[in-house]
Amino acid sequence: MFSGIVEEVGSIDSIQRVPSGLKLHIRCKKILDDLKLGDSVAVNGVCLTAVEINDDSFVADVSFETLSKSNLGDLKIKEFVNLERALKVSDRLSGHIVLGHIDSKCIISKIQRSGDFYILGLSIDNYVYRYCIKKGSVCIDGISLTINELDNTYLELTIIPHTFENTNLRYKKVGNYVNIEVDVLGKYVEKMLKLGSSIDENFLKENGFI
């Protein structure tokens, strides 16, 4: 589990094709401090497992399923990626609950500076729209962000200067793809409503939401 607060921007050192998909060699520094074999790392919001750790990089396997659902298959050597280690139980949840399970990849339709801030516009499909609400949370390339504008084909976010300068968003251009993970709480609520379950304060407490 992650929070969508990017710890470091790493870069792709090499890409190795293997029968099951790809091996990504990712150059980084900060997240290697306490990273162990088998640990989870969010790479552009995709939950991957560290299968090899070196002095200045780590290696993660990416399956064909993950490649088909995310922008990891589009990565090139030296391209920048957002990195976040899995949460500790004692960590502050500064973003929102992120699983690292990508729902879709969306194309950037607008990047516009507005004073010190940046406006990021994405073209979305009906599935993404279904689970988004205005002022709700969404995870874009592993970054926890708040939705400012929304309709069934378009989603818009305002990016603060710190986030823009300290993530891979500063390298993105119109036409690039980003990974999107919608808020998982919306999926649970939808399922419970379909099953006819009663969602009240007791239900939320019993299931750990409050």
Domain count of the fold of the chain: 2
> Within this chain, do residues 12 and 47 fall inside the same structural domain, yes or no?
yes
Residue pLDDT, tens place only, 130-148:
999 999 999 999 999 999 9
For residue 91, what pLDDT is reported? 74
For residue 11, what pLDDT is reported? 98
CA distance 205 to 210: 5
For residue 199, what pLDDT is reported? 63
Structure tokens at 93: 């949840």
For residue 60, what pLDDT is reported? 97
Low-confidence ranges of the chain (pLDDT < 50): none
> Within this chain, do residues 124 and 156 fall inside the same structural domain, yes or no?
yes
Q: Which of 29, 50, 85 is the last residue of a domain?
A: 85
Residue 56 CB-density burial (10 A; 0-12 exposed, 13-18 middle, 19+ buried)? exposed
For residue 66, what pLDDT is reported? 95
Residue 76 lies in a domain: yes
Residue pLDDT, tens place only, 76-104:
999 999 999 999 877 777 888 899 999 99
For residue 198, what pLDDT is reported? 64
Q: Who contacts 88 (Cβ-Cβ below 8 Å, separation ≥6)?
A: none
For residue 169, give the CATH number of its domain.
Answer: 2.40.30.20
> Within this chain, do residues 135 and 165 fall inside the same structural domain, yes or no?
yes
For residue 80, what pLDDT is reported? 98
* Nearest CA-CA partner of 74 in 113, 114, 46: 46
Structure tokens at 52: 């090899």
> Within this chain, do residues 80 and 109 fall inside the same structural domain, yes or no?
no
Whether pTM > 0.75 for this model: the answer is yes
> Which residues constitute the domain of residue 154?
104-188
